[in-house]
Amino acid sequence: MAGLLLKNVAKLYPNGGVGVKDISMEIADGEFAVLAGPAGSGKSTLLRMIGGLEDISQGDIYIGGVRVNDLEPRDRGVAMIFRNYILYPQMTVYENLAFGLRLSGCGKDEIHERVTETAKLLEITELLDLPSEQVTGIDRYKVAVGRAVARKPKVLLMDDPMLCVDGELRREMREGLAELYRHLGVTVIYVTEDAGEAMALGTRLVVIRDGALEQTGTPEEVYEKPINRFVAEYFGDPAINVLEAMVGEENGRAVLTVAGSHGVFSEENSRRLLAAGYAGKEITVGVRPEDIHCEPECLERFSDNLIDACADVYETAGDAAYMSFRVGSYTMKAKVPQSAGIRPGDEVKLAVDPSRVYIFDKDTQKAI
Partner 1 sequence: MISNQILQSTIEGLKGITRIDFCICDTEGKVLASTFSEAEEYENSILAFVDSPADSQVIQGYQFFKVFDENQLEYILLAKGSNEDVYMVGKMVVFQIQNLLVAYKERFDKDNFIKNLLLDNLLLVDIYNRAKKLHIETNVKRVVFIIETKHEKDGSALETVRSLFATKTKDFVTAVDEKNIILVKEVKPGETYADLEKTANIILDMLNTEAMSKVHVAFGTIVNEIKEVSRSYKEAKMALDVGKIFYSGKNVVAYSNLGIGRLIYQLPLPLCRMFIKEIFDGKSPDEFDEETLTTINKFFENSLNVSETSRQLYIHRNTLVYRLDKLQKSTGLDLRVFEDAITFKIALMVVKYMKYMESMDY
| Residue ranges binding partner 1 (CB under 8 A) | 13-19, 45, 48, 51-54, 72-74, 79-86, 88-91, 99-100, 103-104, 147-148, 159, 210, 229-230, 363-365
- Smallest separation (angstroms) from partner 1 to the CB of 215: 15
Q: Measured between alpha carbons, how far is 16 from 170 in angstroms, rounded to an integer?
A: 38
Least distance CB 57 / partner 1 (angstroms): 11
Q: Which is nearer to partner 1, 80 or 201 (CB)?
A: 80
**What residue ranges in 48-194 does DSSP mark as E strands?**
58-63, 66-67, 78-81, 155-159, 187-192
Give yes or no for a cis peptide into 296 (omega within 30° of 0).
no
Strands 66-67 and 58-63 come out as: antiparallel
Give residues with Cβ within 8 angstroms of 182, minimum separation 6. none
Displacement of CA 16 from its chain's centroid (Å): 29
CB 95 → partner 1: shortest distance, Å? 9
Q: Which of 32, 33, 37 is nearest to 234 (CA)?
A: 37
Q: Which is nearer to partner 1, 16 or 318 (CB)?
A: 16
Between 214 and 291, name the residue whose CB sits nearer to partner 1. Answer: 214
Q: Which residues pair with 6 in a beta bridge?
A: 25, 61
Report, in Å, the least distance between residue 47 CB and partner 1: 10
Strand 187-192 versus strand 155-159 pairing type: parallel
CB of 325 to partner 1, least distance (A): 23
Nearer to partner 1, 41 or 270 (CB): 41
Nearer to partner 1, 116 or 365 (CB): 365
Torsion sign, CA atoms 149, 150, 155, 158: negative
| Closest approach of partner 1 to the CB of residue 181, in Å | 18
Q: Tell me the β-bridge partners of 250.
A: 253
Give 279-290 as a DSSP string.
TTSEEEEEE-GG
Distance (Å, whole) CA 22 – CA 10 = 5
Q: Which is nearer to partner 1, 81 or 127 (CB)?
A: 81
Cβ distance 31 to 54 under 8 Å? no
Residue 31 CB, nearest distance to partner 1 (Å)?
Answer: 22
The radius of gyration computed from the CA coordinates of the chain, to the nearest angstrom, equals 25
Cβ distance to partner 1 smaller for residue 230 or 302: 230
